Amino acid sequence: MIQGANCGVDVQEQRRYKRVVFREPYQLATRKGELLGASLTFDLSAGGIRLRTDEFLPVGSLVSIQFSCCNNQLLTIQGKVAWVQKVPHADSYQAGLQFDENEENLFFLSEIRKFVKKG
């Protein structure tokens, strides 16, 4: 039997990390510090963040995102654009950023894990 959304069978969540609704302003920049835009986030996990943007972000772009989280602590995290989707009937996009698991991000990723775990 084929399983999938079109077969009336529940498809299991395949995300690696738990996500929580997270509506906060952010600033996005290139790794060289050039501002790419600012808007609001949608949700957050220990592995990445989903956001709204007025600018198209090419998949694979290396970026730095800054936002407040975890007791209003300002976080700056390196990552890359994992996916981009045009919002229907709007001049904006949704994008998913995957956080880099490097030395520079370790402390912030630890704080995000605690925040997400609390729900």
What is the Cα–Cα distance from 60 to 69, expressed in whole angstroms?
Answer: 25
pLDDT category of residue 2 using cuts at 50, 70 and 90: very low
Q: Residue 8: is its pLDDT beyond 70?
A: no
More confident residue, 15 or 101: 101
pLDDT category of residue 15 using cuts at 50, 70 and 90: low
This prediction has a pTM of 0.82
Q: Residue 104: is its pLDDT beyond 50?
A: yes
Dihedrals phi, psi of 103, to nearest 5 degrees: -55, -40
Q: Residue 18: is its pLDDT beyond 90?
A: no
Going from N- to C-terminal start, the domains of the chain cover: 17-114
CA neighbours within 13 Å on the CB side: how many for 44? 28
Identify the CATH assignment for 17-114 out of 3.90.650.10, 2.160.10.10, 2.40.10.220, 3.40.630.30. 2.40.10.220
As a whole-number percent, the residues of the chain with pLDDT over 70 amount to 87
Q: From residue 18, how far is each of 4, 43, 79, 114 by CA, in Å?
A: 22, 10, 18, 11
